[in-house]
Amino acid sequence: MRSIVFTYKFCKNTKLLPIDVKLFAANNSEIKVLGKTRLTFSVGGVPTSTDLVVTDEVTEFLLGMDSVCFVAT
Protein backbone atom coordinates (compact mmCIF):
# COMPACT_ATOMS: atom_id res chain seq x y z
CA MET A 1 0.00 0.00 0.00
CA ARG A 2 1.28 3.44 -0.89
CA SER A 3 1.34 5.97 1.94
CA ILE A 4 -1.32 8.51 1.10
CA VAL A 5 -2.37 10.38 4.23
CA PHE A 6 -5.78 11.97 4.57
CA THR A 7 -7.11 14.25 7.28
CA TYR A 8 -9.86 12.93 9.56
CA LYS A 9 -11.97 16.10 9.19
CA PHE A 10 -13.04 14.99 5.69
CA CYS A 11 -14.06 11.46 6.66
CA LYS A 12 -15.65 11.75 10.11
CA ASN A 13 -18.71 9.76 8.98
CA THR A 14 -16.66 7.04 7.29
CA LYS A 15 -15.98 3.68 8.89
CA LEU A 16 -12.26 3.39 9.48
CA LEU A 17 -10.61 0.00 9.23
CA PRO A 18 -7.64 -0.94 11.39
CA ILE A 19 -4.19 -0.72 9.86
CA ASP A 20 -0.79 -1.66 11.26
CA VAL A 21 1.50 1.06 9.94
CA LYS A 22 3.73 3.75 11.43
CA LEU A 23 4.09 7.12 9.75
CA PHE A 24 6.70 9.76 10.44
CA ALA A 25 6.85 13.47 9.65
CA ALA A 26 9.84 15.15 8.02
CA ASN A 27 11.18 15.99 11.50
CA ASN A 28 11.02 12.26 12.40
CA SER A 29 8.12 12.66 14.86
CA GLU A 30 5.52 9.89 14.69
CA ILE A 31 2.11 10.67 13.17
CA LYS A 32 -0.76 8.98 15.04
CA VAL A 33 -2.77 6.79 12.65
CA LEU A 34 -6.53 6.41 13.23
CA GLY A 35 -7.14 3.78 10.54
CA LYS A 36 -7.64 3.47 6.80
CA THR A 37 -10.47 4.00 4.34
CA ARG A 38 -11.00 3.64 0.60
CA LEU A 39 -11.60 6.73 -1.55
CA THR A 40 -13.36 6.30 -4.89
CA PHE A 41 -12.94 9.07 -7.48
CA SER A 42 -12.47 9.63 -11.19
CA VAL A 43 -9.60 11.09 -13.20
CA GLY A 44 -10.48 12.28 -16.67
CA GLY A 45 -13.76 10.37 -16.44
CA VAL A 46 -12.01 7.11 -15.53
CA PRO A 47 -13.20 5.74 -12.18
CA THR A 48 -10.54 4.57 -9.74
CA SER A 49 -10.01 4.13 -6.02
CA THR A 50 -7.19 4.08 -3.49
CA ASP A 51 -6.69 3.30 0.18
CA LEU A 52 -5.95 6.24 2.45
CA VAL A 53 -4.27 6.29 5.85
CA VAL A 54 -6.32 8.58 8.12
CA THR A 55 -5.01 10.81 10.92
CA ASP A 56 -6.22 13.84 12.83
CA GLU A 57 -2.68 15.24 13.05
CA VAL A 58 -2.51 16.68 9.53
CA THR A 59 -4.71 19.33 7.92
CA GLU A 60 -3.98 18.58 4.28
CA PHE A 61 -3.78 15.62 1.91
CA LEU A 62 -0.22 14.20 1.93
CA LEU A 63 1.57 11.88 -0.46
CA GLY A 64 4.28 9.75 1.09
CA MET A 65 7.64 9.51 -0.64
CA ASP A 66 6.80 5.99 -1.85
CA SER A 67 3.72 7.37 -3.65
CA VAL A 68 5.66 10.23 -5.22
CA CYS A 69 8.31 7.83 -6.50
CA PHE A 70 5.62 5.46 -7.84
CA VAL A 71 3.88 8.25 -9.80
CA ALA A 72 7.20 9.55 -11.16
CA THR A 73 8.17 6.20 -12.71
- What whole-number distance in Å separates Cα of residue 54 and Cα of residue 39? 11
Query: What percentage of the chain exceeds 90 in pLDDT?
Result: 21
What pLDDT score was predicted for residue 27? 93
Specify the 3-state DSSP secondary structure of 68. helix
What type of residue sits at position 65?
Answer: M
Q: Which class for 15: exposed (0-12), middle (13-18), buried (19 or more C-beta within 10 A)?
A: exposed
Predicted confidence (pLDDT) at residue 46 exceeds the cutoff of 70: yes
When pLDDT is averaged across residues 59-69 and rounded to a whole number, the result is 68
Mean pLDDT of 5-32: 87
How far apart are the C-alpha atoms of 43 and 36, rounded to whole Å? 21
Rounded to an integer, the average pLDDT of 59-72 is 65
